[in-house]
Amino acid sequence: MATRSAQSFPSTASVVALPDITLRVRSRPGYETLKRTIDTLGALVLLIALLPAFLCIAVGVVVDSGWPIFYRGERIGRGARTFTVLKFRSMRADSDSSAHREYLSQLLAGEAGASNGLFKVPNDPRITRVGRFLRRSSLDELPQLVNIVRGEMSLVGPRPEVPYALADYESWMYRRFEVTPGITGLWQVSGRGRLSVRDMLRLDVEYADRSSLGLDLGILARTIPAVLRGTGAG
């Protein structure tokens, strides 16, 4: 059974049923308070500063492929609690997840290599023209700043997981749910799309073990040049 700390979560969050796995969700008040403060202030500043970019992207999405502007999807976060992640929509509005489910299962089983960016289906016909640019530049993830303000995500942490991926998880992989998911993390600055999914998950577990304010600040500093270079982006 998973063990959890006394951290507060959104009242609407539900908990995903896990196998007989123990999540060591540690309570570190000092670190968590500092991290939450940096997350909230940083996300609010970025939301205000990037408002013109949000408006331009929103117009681009609507002109290219109509409504809706945002994609909303269920994800798993800290303590295996679910939340709704926000992204700018980069796929056709009528797309389903079957292609991604199959590709992700192959990745986790080691039957396929990372292509076109980690966890992204190669030559995916569901991607719109504007969506292809948004994904390549990682601009599709900007609305997750709202998830950070709401306390569901952090600036730094493992990427939030899709629920159907758990069908192919091994026991050690669940440890990535011991920390709050983030917009950027250890794997993004360590090779991103050049890494295998299993390597990515190992880095997520390593982050869960080593997470600290110094590590978070170091990852943030390394993220900016990685994004500008488009390292591993699809």
- For each successive 10 residues of the chain (234 residues), what is the average pLDDT? 42 72 84 97 97 97 96 95 97 84 80 58 85 91 97 96 92 94 91 77 94 95 75 45
- Rounded Cα distance between 131 and 134, Å, is 5
Instruction: Find out whether 20 and 1 touch, Cβ atoms under 8 Å.
Output: yes
Of 133, 194, 147, nearest to 47 by C-alpha is 147
pLDDT digits (tens, 9 = 90+) for 167-212: 899 999 999 999 999 999 998 888 666 778 888 999 999 999 999 9
| Angle at 11 (CA atoms; ends 7, 13), nearest 5 degrees | 85
